[in-house]
Amino acid sequence: MPLTAAMVRFVDVAELIKARSISDEILRDMCEDYRLARATLTRMKKAKPRRPAEISEYTTLVSELEDEIIRRLLGDEERPTVNKE
């Protein structure tokens, strides 16, 4: 499910993600991009040999997608501080 990774990452707003994604195709696409980026990053971190430059690039991409998802949920209002673990 494309929304699962975002819903797991943002547990506090998981139901909002689910509800908004019904009518918000852009949010659904963002969640799918996030899921794919997270999966790729996880694979890269386990791969041998490690490729630090690409891992760094995907780490940045994942972070940017997290920010975009939150901004989308807030309607581009000022976003809250989110604990990024």
C-alpha distances in angstroms, 34 versus 42, 48, 85? 12, 23, 15
Domain range for 36 = 4-73
Confidence (pLDDT) at 3: 86
Is 28 domain-assigned? Answer: yes
pLDDT > 90? residue 84: no
Tell me the C-alpha distance between 22 and 28, whole Å.
8
3-class state of residue 23 by DSSP: coil
Confidence (pLDDT) at 70: 94
Count up the domains in the chain and report the number: 1
C-alpha distances in angstroms, 65 versus 48, 49, 68? 26, 26, 5
Is 79 domain-assigned? Answer: no
Task: Read off the pLDDT of residues 3-51 as tens digits, 9 standing for 90 and up.
Answer: 899 999 999 999 999 999 999 999 999 999 999 999 999 999 999 999 9
Is 81 domain-assigned? Answer: no
Across the range 72-85, mean pLDDT stands at: 62
Residue among 4, 11, 2 at smallest CA distance from 85:
11
Task: Please count the residues of the chain.
Answer: 85
Confidence (pLDDT) at 79: 45
The whole model's pTM is what?
A: 0.81
